[in-house]
Amino acid sequence: MRKDSSYLIKYTSSGLYCELADVWIDPNKPVKRAIITHAHMDHFTFGCDEYISTYETAIILKERIGKEIKIKTYDYEKEFKINGVRIAFHPSGHILGSSQIKFILADEKWLITGDFKRQKDDTCKEYKIVETDFLISESTFGLPIFKWDESHKTALDITKWVNSSQEKTSILFCYSLGKAQRLLNEISKTKFKNNIYTHSSIYKINKCYEKLGIDIVDTKKIELNKNSEDLKGSLILLPPALNKSSSLKNFKDSQTGFASGWMSIRALRKRSGYDKGFTISDHADWIAILRTIKESKAKNVFFHHGDSEALNKYLKEKNSINVLEFEYKK
């Protein structure tokens, strides 16, 4: 059995680390050099000496946290070297600018999927199949119960939900980066004719997407103290952090919904406190994770970011794949 210390990629207290290149991937602490897979804040840490990402990720990060951050950027598929290790970004399909990261040393290939999805999404590049020897895959929804409908069906359900309650204001909670833009894109393809309002955090990202060449349906920036009488029949997109905000009391005749992959679990829908749950995720479901492993032709698989017990068991029983676990390194 190969020892963990000989692996090109290791797991440390700061996150995934390539020692030969002296670079961390999505570190959770400030480090010397960080490769960032995408612009969600749980994959970014302030205070690193150097950042590396795709151009789109850099633009979005600067919009979210400040223009002064210095980020070196590379296009998808363009290989670069650090200390002899060949590295390249490949589309992961998660959100605009999101990446898988390929590492090659001599003839050995490693691939970190980052967060990814396999469903069609017009607001970002689709997942690129990359063959590898070692695969480090996310497993956020790594259980057989997770199986996604196509996003256009979810958009139709949202449109029907709003249209059937014209006397109410419909408030839909969704993540500001990626999920909101994907939903707006899909809703624009339905027969939705009413006004759409977005929170400032979503509105700002919409404009950023537009600058990067992604068409997003026009929305109005919501004022949370606005008279709810003026908003009947409208759809409002808000970030989930505001679901308990006192400002929501201004919307007296309203219905609430939440758009997330977690809404596929009935018990969570009931406990969530929302009137309606819509299942849509920017992560791969069970089938997509297994499909991706197969198409990568990897013989060695690690899981990262999620529950992997069911995947480990399934792969060991059904496939000739080594399912490995990192030893924790300080």
Which residue spans of the chain are classified as CATH 3.40.50.10890? 151-278
Ranges of beta strands (E only) in the chain are 9-12, 15-18, 23-25, 33-35, 50-53, 71-73, 80-82, 85-91, 99-105, 108-112, 134-139, 169-173, 196-198, 220-221, 235-238, 254-259, 276-278, 300-306, 322-323, 328-329
Cβ-Cβ contacts under 8 Å for 245 (sequence gap 6 or more) = 224
**193 in helix, strand or coil?**
coil
Between strands 220-221 and 300-306, the pairing is unpaired
What is the rounded radius of gyration, in angstroms, for the C-alpha atoms of the chain? 21
DSSP 265: S
Q: What is the enclosing helix (H) or strand (E) of 291?
A: helix 286-296
- How many CB atoms neighbour CB 262 within 10 A? 15
Which residue spans of the chain are classified as CATH 3.60.15.10? 4-145+283-329
Kindly report the CATH class assigned to 4-145+283-329: alpha beta
Residue 230 confidence (pLDDT): 77
Cβ-Cβ contacts under 8 Å for 46 (sequence gap 6 or more) = 30, 65
Residue 228 confidence (pLDDT): 65
List per-block mean pLDDT (blocks of 10 residues) for the chain, which spans 330 residues: 73 95 97 97 93 97 87 98 98 98 97 98 98 97 96 97 94 97 97 93 96 95 75 94 85 92 87 92 98 96 90 86 77
Residue 1 confidence (pLDDT): 43
Residue 70 confidence (pLDDT): 87
Q: Which CATH architecture has domain 151-278?
A: 3-Layer(aba) Sandwich (3.40)
Residue 249 confidence (pLDDT): 80
Taking a C-beta distance cutoff of 8 angstroms, is the pair 59, 209 a contact?
no
Q: What pTM value is reported for the model?
A: 0.94
Cβ-Cβ contacts under 8 Å for 199 (sequence gap 6 or more) = 176, 221, 222, 236, 237, 238, 239, 242
- Per-residue tokens: 232: 């009947």
